Amino acid sequence: MLIKRPDEFKVSEITPEAVFLNRREFMAAGGVAAAGLAVGRLDGWTVGHEPSNRLSAQPSQQDDPQTPFQAVTTYNNFYEFGTDKSEPAKNAGTLKPRPWTVKVEGMAAKPGDYNIEDILKWFPAKEYVYRHRCVEAWSMVIPWYGFPLRDFINRFEPSPKAKFVEFTTLMDPKQMPGQRDLVLDWPYVEGLRMDEAMNPLTLFAVGIYQKPLLNQNGAPIRLVIPWKYGFKGIKSIVKVRFVETQPLNTWQLAAPSEYSFYANVNPAVDHPRWSQARERRVGEFLKRPTLPFNGFGEQVAAMYKGMDPRTLY
């Protein structure tokens, strides 16, 4: 078992979002230079700000206070840059998100290598405010910018025989120094059943907080599935493959007794070594109840009707 339990995150260490969304203050703090991020416009598309662009499980979710920008970009799991939650922000400067190619393979009518700039032009990005729930019992509320994965899938016309979609992260130890350590079987691989991939909640994210994804958050393109635990959200994707059989995802391979293929959020099913019934929102002191399917049950529960619930979490 390799995923660590959450560290105590001090409220005093979190800079308010408003400060980080103020370009002058952020640049004065050296953040732009360190993170290499652009402000205002993301390459290939302009961010939409209309509330109608937001998609949430329930009206109250849009009203949840968003987790401060600093926390979202300095406290996360990305083992390709280190196993401590602060290490991705410190070490991800070696990643080069341009040029970037996403390879489409497998059972599809239009396989090939596709440039990220073209992808960004094809699919308008909108804002989606989603809860992010980590298996380690901490959570965030993040304004993602991206587009439904189903739009991407439809463009490449997968065969009806393709029942799953497999995703692969970049494999390059020079850019991702954590891959020099054998903590996982690299490269990182994840997968979704086709109906999960086609659900309108499932995103290819390319930005957060009206900015392009930072390296430590999975630049230039990553997966977001809001009703699943965070490890399903594979980052820095270089390959999408349409397949007939269920892929073996990285954490399922590393610890099959603790991590399943589905990884749906369920407070009633504990992790073998701790409870999943409650979670701590980053920046808060008290824990709150974990919601089934992370609050998205109305939209996704029907996909799993009749299945053994213990195999889904």
Residue 36, domain member (yes or no): yes
Q: Is residue 149 part of a domain?
A: yes
pTM: 0.84
What's the pLDDT tens digit per position in 202-238? 999 999 999 999 999 999 999 999 999 999 999 999 9
Beta bridge partners of 105: 241
- How crowded is the C-beta side of 107, counted as CA atoms within 13 Å? 14
40 within a domain of the structure (yes/no): yes
CATH for 172: 3.90.420.10
Q: CA–CA separation, 251 vs 230, rounded Å? A: 12
Per-chain mean pLDDT for the chain:
84
Please check whether residue 47 lies inside any domain of the structure.
yes
- How is residue 81 written in tokens? 């840059």
- 52-61, 77-86, 257-266: least confidently modelled range: 52-61
The domain tally of the chain equals 1
Q: Is residue 130 part of a domain?
A: yes
* Torsion angles phi and psi, residue 15, rounded to 5: -80, 135
Tell whether 163 is covered by a domain.
yes
Q: Which amino acid is at 266?
A: N
Hey, what are 26's tokens? 């952020």
Chain centroid to CA 133: 10
> What are 270-310's pLDDT values in tens digits?
888 999 999 999 999 999 999 999 999 999 999 999 998 77
Domain extent at residue 203: 11-311
Q: What is the Cα–Cα distance from 177 to 171, expressed in whole angstroms?
A: 10
Asked if residue 49 belongs to a domain, the reply is: yes
Apex 252 CA angle, 308 and 93, nearest 5: 135
- What type of residue is 19? V
